[in-house]
Structure 1
Amino acid sequence: MTSPHPLSAASLFSLKDYVAVVTGGGTGLGLMIAQTLAANGAKVYITGRRADVLETSARVHGSKERLGPDGGSMVPLVMDVTSKDSIRKAVAEISDKENYVNVLVNNAGIWAGRPEKKPQDGPEAFSEAILQDEKVENWHRAFDVNCLAAYFVTAAFLPLLAKAVSGPTGKIGNVVNNSSMAGFMRMSQGCQFSYNVTKAAVSHLTRQMAYEFSHKEINVRVNGLALGYFATEMTTGESNTENESTPDDEKFAGFLANMGCTKVNRFGTPQEAASILLTVVTNEFMWGTISIVDGGFVLTLPGNM
């Protein structure tokens, strides 16, 4: 059998012998990411708090029929990214089975709400809505899941990530933080301040971790994805029995138009998320980047960047 051309997609994006961990991997973007890694040959541990969701996703989407002849596998593993004890336990379980981890995708995230009133309702109404509707604990929870989790989970997996280069792939271990375009905009997208601020925080955390973890004694790559709208439980409000969400592009286009964005009129597709993920994971010349993949949303609102 002849080998594929070294510049073919099969050569460039093969993840044979890779071990990956995806937090929040049971639904939404996490599931898209996990499927992408597994379909290209990786053994992927999908983590989250809901064991039943993880088990369903691993059984359905990690099957040989779904992944194809060159696919790897998906392994469910319960882990609460806001608990150091839970993180340590998960690392220990993986360490019992694996000598290294090639890829860690910090994907887990939550939306913490917004005030019912908007600036156009006037200062008194807007002020009272912020104080009444937004809970301090919700902001804390958003930071815990959307930002601090990436920091502590990465720290816990660093020893395994550092060993990746000595594994069969010979590739440097790498971390991908799934941030959001929301962290790059002045616009609050309907006053969802807590979500956008925490996404800005994890984007800057990505830059700092990329710098510090490039040290020769660690030598782990860190990059980020700042994605736009994809069909997830967070954006559509639901998922089906296979833990996937169905986009309603017509309704979504109206939602975006209300925010003044007419350039984007649909959700991103799993293929569009997959292609940028594979590039970041396999390209060892990428260090400390944050890739915005949003259909042009941030370009439509002058001054956002």
Structure 2
Amino acid sequence: MELEGKHALVTGGGSGIGLAIARALAARGAAVTITGRRQAALDAAAGDGIVGMSMDVRDEARVVETTAAAVEARGPIQICVANAGIAEGRALHKTDLDFWRDMMATNLDGAFLTIREALQSMRETDWGRVIAVSSVAGLRGLPGAACYTASKHGMVGLIRALSEDYIGKPITFNTLCPAYVDTDIVTRNTASISARAGVSADKARAMMVSANRHNRLIAPEEVAAAALWLVSDGSESVNGQAIEIAGGQI
């Protein structure tokens, strides 16, 4: 129970990667606050050290208020996992400004606001870990998804800059960059790819599976295991890294 006494904030924690990370942290003793837009999903995920608080990461006032309430209820945040995000592909010539702004507001602005507010209390402690869940699209261009790719590259840049700002201090900043993970996002994208490419749902899913170097979808628990390593003893010198979880070199 090496994380006992530490408070972790996980955005987008009601399902998928976020929930897997929240459960892994709670199993090691952390008090975990998960956030998301759907309170029902958060309530279903709560228990065993996990508490849900509704929060839209696009809403600055809400992020400020919810983070402060979480700190008041459970103490300073020492583990921050900026995971909330959306994934949708669209050709750039078909991308309107509303689509672009919503993607950036959720993926990039949301990470910025979450980390900024978590640091308010984390900076007052003697230990902290910040993890942003980006994507392999944060390290290379993803065909047909310029907006998504740009938002995920921005997350990697944000983390790299923060790691330099705090270098030598007891807070580390790292990014996890998974390829296609077996979550509801893949399920939703199956229909989207099928419609855009004019292929069957099975073919659309196979396209995502084959994009992973080991030709299978990644389990959310595999991403959670990487997050757990970054907050465990012995990871102190891992800082400013974008860690690929892709079944091979991308």
TM-score by length of 2: 0.86
Counterpart position of 1:196: 149
Question: Counterpart of 2:129?
Answer: 174
Counterpart residue number, 1:244: none
Q: Any conservation in 2 of the 1:231–1:268 contact (CA below 8 Å)? A: yes
TM-score, L = length of structure 1: 0.71
Equivalent residue number for residue 66 of structure 1: none
Q: Give the letter aligned to residue 269 of structure 1.
A: A
Contiguous gaps of at least 5 residues in structure 2: 190-201
2:53 matched to 1:80? no
State the secondary structure of the residue aligned to 1:45.
strand
What letter matches 1:274 in structure 2?
A
The one-letter amino acid paired with 2:73 is K
> Is 1:208 aligned to residue 161 of structure 2?
yes
- Cα distance in 1 for residues equivalent to 2:89 and 2:113: 24
Amino-acid identity (%): 30
Paired with 1:204 and 1:223, the residues of 2 have a C-alpha distance of 10
Larger Rg: 1
Does residue 265 (structure 1) correspond to residue 215 (structure 2)? The answer is yes
Contact 1:206 1:288 in 2 (8 A): yes
1:295 aligns to 2:250 (yes or no): no
Give, in angstroms, the shift of residue 177 of structure 1: 0.7
Instruction: Tell me which residue corresponds to 1:185.
Output: 140
Count of matched residue pairs: 236
Alignment partners' CA distance in 2, 1:100 and 1:263: 39
Which aligned pairs between 1:240-279 and structure 2 lie closer than 5 A? Answer: 254-256=206-208, 261=211, 263-279=213-229
> Which runs of no fewer than 5 residues in structure 1 stay unpaired?
1-9, 64-72, 116-129, 166-171, 239-249, 299-305
Is residue 113–residue 134 contact of structure 1 (8 Å, CA) maintained in 2? no
**2:8 counterpart (12, 20, 28):** 20
**Aligned residues of 2:71 and 2:77 also touching (Cα < 8 A):** no
Does 2:92 match 1:89? no
Corresponding residue for residue 233 of structure 1? 184
| Cα deviation 1:33-59 (Å, max 9, x = unaligned) | 11111112111100011111111111x
What is the alpha-carbon distance in structure 1 between the residues aligned to residue 66 and residue 89 of structure 2?
29
Matched, 1:224 2:224: no
Determine if the alignment matches structure 1 residue 98 to structure 2 residue 74: yes
Q: Does the CA contact (< 8 Å) of 1:253 and 1:264 recur in 2? A: no
- What's the secondary structure of 1:164's corresponding residue? coil
Q: Return closer, same or farther for 1:201/1:272 CA change in 2, 3 Å cut-off.
A: same
| Aligned-partner Cα distance in 2 for 1:29–1:272 | 9
Relative distance call for 1:164 and 1:138 in structure 2 (3 A) is same
Structure 1 partner of 2:192: none
Q: Deviations over 1:45-85 (max 9, x none)?
A: 00011111111111xxx34xxxxxxxxx1000111111111
C-alpha deviation, 1:251, in angstroms? 6.1
The alignment status of 1:163 with 2:124, answered yes or no, reads yes
Matched-pair contact (CA < 8 Å) for 2:16–2:220: no
**Contact 1:253 1:266 (8 Å CA) reproduced:** no
Q: Deviations over 1:120-179 (max 9, x none)?
A: xxxxxxxxxx43x322111111111111211122111212112332xxxxxx11110111
Deviation at 1:215, TM superposition (A): 6.7
How far apart are the structure 1 equivalents of 2:70 and 2:86? 25
What is the aligned counterpart of 1:39 among 20, 27, 39?
Answer: 27
Equivalents in 1 of 2:213, 2:74: separation in Å? 45
Aligned partner letter, 2:158: L
Whether the aligned pair in 2 keeps the contact of 1:164 and 1:173 (CA below 8 Å) is yes
